[in-house]
Amino acid sequence: MKRHALSTRLWHWINAAALAVLFMSGLGISNAHRHLYWGNFGYDPADAWLHVVRFPGWITLPSTYNLAASRDWHNIGAWVFGIALLFMWIAMLVNRHYVRDIVTCTHDWSPRHWWHILRSNPREHETLDGAKYNSLQKIAYGVVLGVLLPIMIFTGLAISPGFEPAAPWLIEILGGRQSARSIHFIAAWAIAAFFVAHIVMVFAGGAWKLVRDMITGGRVETKKKGYFDA
């Protein structure tokens, strides 16, 4: 049996590329007005709750300041990201990957169990009842797939001028356009933090093998599983 289903592998790499485009183009957009507000309106930096640094060209898309080009890249990445996420959720529900491997139980929320996982060798940690993911993975993946990524989509729609006439209620639920922009920014950096943690644990668990398995599918092992086996 394959450790990673084809749907998981396709989504993983497509999503990684889409998020990279979204993040880098989003930083380019942020450079146009580096202040965040709450509510419906926000123009005066004196009213901002956060003043964002100016991001250097090597991490923005494009590398030179061009708000129109950054928005174009952001829109392209958003369509790829949204369609891929919808596809992944359908696949996870159909093949029961979500119910089987991500849904948590009471034991998964035990701090003592978390401590045991953190003290274990990332390359040789036995998951609960032979599950593909350990408790911390389940919680992390559940938060990213079920909370942060959908938040990115809904807040992105809310701050899109062309979408407001179709669903003004979405902006109201989020507390206003500027609130949606602030939430969008916070969620983006939360996903970036998850990405950094993911990369660190991939290297801790054997980078070449894990990357290879995410390309080829790998094989299910019957004994011990690493942090990012699936």
Instruction: List beta partners, residue 51.
Output: 35
Q: Averaged over 137-166, what is the pLDDT? A: 90
Q: Averaged over 97-122, what is the pLDDT? A: 84
Element (H, E) at 35: strand 35-36
Cβ-proximal residues to 23 (8 Å cutoff; 6+ apart), any chain: 188, 191, 192
Distance from C-alpha of 133 to C-alpha of 15, rounded to nearest angstrom: 20
What is the value of pTM for the model shown?
0.83
Residues 102 and 145 sit within 8 Å (Cβ to Cβ):
yes
Q: How confident is the model at residue 192 (pLDDT cuts 50, 70, 90)?
A: very high
Domain boundaries in the chain?
6-216
Packing angle, helices 177-204 and 149-158, rounded to 10: 150
Write out the two tokens for 68: 């129109």
pLDDT at 116 over 50: yes
> Which pLDDT value is given to residue 172?
92
Task: Give residue for tokens 């998964």.
Answer: 108
Amino acid at site 133: Y
Among the residue ranges 37-46, 63-72, 119-128, 130-139, the one predicted with the least confidence is 119-128
Distance from C-alpha of 158 to C-alpha of 210, rounded to nearest angstrom: 37
CATH among 1.10.287.180, 3.40.190.10, 1.10.3720.10, 1.20.950.20 for 6-216: 1.20.950.20
